[in-house]
Amino acid sequence: MSSTRQFERILRNAENDEITREEAFFLFKEAKTYDKILELFKVASRVREDEVGATFKLDGFIGPISHCISDPPCRYCWNSSNLSEIKSGLKDVLTSSEISQSAKLIEETGTNAVELGGASFTDEKSVIVAVKAFKDACNLNIWLKAGPGFSEEGLKELKKLEVDCIAVPLEVLKEELFRKVKPGDNLSERIEIIKTVDNLGLKLATVLICGLGESYNDRVDHLFYLKQFKNFRYIAFTCFRPIPGTPMSNYPLISPLEGAKTGAIARLIFRDIDIHSGTYDQIPLCALSGGNRMVHAGASVVRRSGVWHTLTFGAEVKHISDKLDFVNLLPTAVKFITGAGMEVEPKIADKYEVSK
């Protein structure tokens, strides 16, 4: 059988049944031309609509709520930059009163869920304090990241506080590569936390970074490793972007298509989970490749000393205090989503007058 006919056969079967490990690897290798990429995206989008519907979720963001204590920091992270203008945006975290104020502002936008953003390698006590401040201020769903530094007792406390989902970002699953790019982190500890979150019955999320040096086979292994977790509900695929001043600043930028392809293949494996690929300006690509959710694409409250939102096309930025900015991407994000033929959540649709 020719490779093209095999490609078509796999996609035809994938409309109704999840693909195998071998089929996933074949799709990664074969989807290298625009016609095959489009066919992959078409089937992934059809599966998404059949399994989770045509609504694209936009999560809010509040942060930072905690400092990263990884020592040394990950070689690709903002924390490893030697540039003072980047370092200055990482010093302060939000107070409980600032978190409360932020939660109320985001709730007014019609947003349904918010990430309390901070390092996953952090002190769990500061995270629990932040969660309590958030829960006291609003009725939004909340999710956050957890990693080394979180105990089973701390995770149980987060469950009591009705945290909707816990993300344990593995980012890369290959042990040798993990140690190379994340020298202050511990893969075994992250895996144990994933198991604990799953065993506690909490919804589980994770992150896979494309372009750190992994192979297609590594990505396939990563995806199928996650199949064992019964409460796995959300995965974000991000594409490596070199940050100035970091040890990996000279690594090549990876194409957004790689994140979208990975998201599309993941959709054919997991079928009914939430999938995020790319960045805010790549929402149409995410939507067209079977994705249905994105954070950092809705309404956010961040430290004014941060730099990312000043570089984000379409951001409506309002200074709400001498330290905080309210960054609203919803007006543009809604257009991106509806322009790709998908819907936004009802409260956001009402707020931004999306025609029915």
Q: Are 28 and 219 in contact (CB under 8 A)?
A: yes
- Report the C-alpha gap between 54 and 72 in whole angstroms: 42
Asked if 350 contacts 330 with a C-beta cutoff of 8 angstroms, the reply is: no
Query: In the CATH hierarchy, which fold is given to the domain comprising 54-351?
Result: TIM Barrel (3.20.20)
SS (H, E, C) the chain: CCHHHHHHHHHHHHCCCCCCHHHHHHHHHHCCCHHHHHHHHHHHHHHHHHHCCCEEEECEEEECCCCCCCCCCCCCCHHHCCCHHHHHHHCCCCCHHHHHHHHHHHHCCCCCEEEECCCCCCCHHHHHHHHHHHHHHCCCEEEEECCCCCCHHHHHHHHHCCCCEEECCCECCCHHHHHHHCCCCCHHHHHHHHHHHHHCCCEEEEEEEECCCCCHHHHHHHHHHHHHCCCEEEEEEEECCCCCCCCCCCCCCCCHHHHHHHHHHHHHHHCCCEEEECCHHHHHHHHHCCCCEECCCCEEEEECCCCHHHHCCCCEEEECCCCEEEEECHHHHHHHHHHCCCEECHHHHHHCCCCC
Q: Break the chain into its structural domains and give their ranges.
A: 54-351
pLDDT score for 164? 96
- 25-59 exposure pattern, b = at least 16 Cβ within 10 A, e = fewer: bbbbebbeeeebbebbbbbbbebbeeebeeebbbb
10-residue stretch averages of pLDDT, the chain, 356 residues long: 94 98 98 97 98 97 88 92 68 89 95 89 88 96 92 96 96 97 95 97 98 97 98 97 94 96 98 96 96 92 62 77 88 94 95 73
d(CA 159, CA 144): 12
CA distance 46 to 128: 39
The pLDDT value given to residue 202: 97
pLDDT at 325: 87
pLDDT, tens digit (0-9, with 9 covering 90-100), for 286-334: 999 999 999 988 888 877 655 555 556 778 888 888 888 899 999 999 9
- The whole model's pTM is what? 0.95
In whole angstroms, what is the distance from residue 150 CA to residue 134 CA? 19
pLDDT value of residue 209: 98
